[in-house]
Structure 1
Amino acid sequence: MKKSVFIFLVCGSIFIFKSGMANDGLQLANQEDLLVAKGEPNSQHEFEDQGQLFVHYYYQAENESFLVDVETGKVCNVYKGKQIRSCFPCAENEVSPQCP
């Protein structure tokens, strides 16, 4: 009996832990999911990067930023800090082994 209760508690804890992780980072796949899960951001800024429009959402309590592609509504980057970054892996006109 004690062994089965222990297994249940461990498995239940793992399930709860994994469920909590589902709301972090890129699991918030689109703008609607983001705003429902996180609420209103402390700041919001629309900007253009490499010819595309994006919205930067910043949540001060978590010190977390989310970038959303305006055209698709998809969250394309999540990171710590307030600095506005990019959804592109390479800078515009960058030529390198990673960016042909």
Structure 2
Amino acid sequence: MYTITICGSMRFSNEMKAIAFILESKYGYNVLQCTYNEQNTEITLEMQENLKKAHLEKINMSDAIYVVDINHYIGCSVKQEIEYAEKRNIKVIFHSEKAVPYTFT
């Protein structure tokens, strides 16, 4: 079983959850999601830094990241996550390219 971290703008939170369900149920991937704070709790700078570190650790544990780029939108944080993954030779899959199912070889 391959592990994939979902990366995308929080504006696509609902889409990311739906995509994660499909990746797990239909394709058998282990998906680490990045959606959180649906209650819109105020996030301090310390909390934001902790969330960023946790997300990067999820990427470190992954075989690939799955970039949810609806209408080809990729924000600054996701660009950094893509660069982070690429530097570590972690595969990058773009939702817009409809690359699922992806073959890991």
Tell me whether the two structures share a fold, i.e. TM-score over 0.5: no
Normalised by the size of structure 2, how large is the TM-score?
A: 0.22
Give the number of the structure whose alpha-carbon radius of gyration is greater: 1
Structure of greater relative contact order (alpha carbons < 8 Å, 6+ residues apart): 2
Q: Give the structure with the larger strand fraction.
A: 1
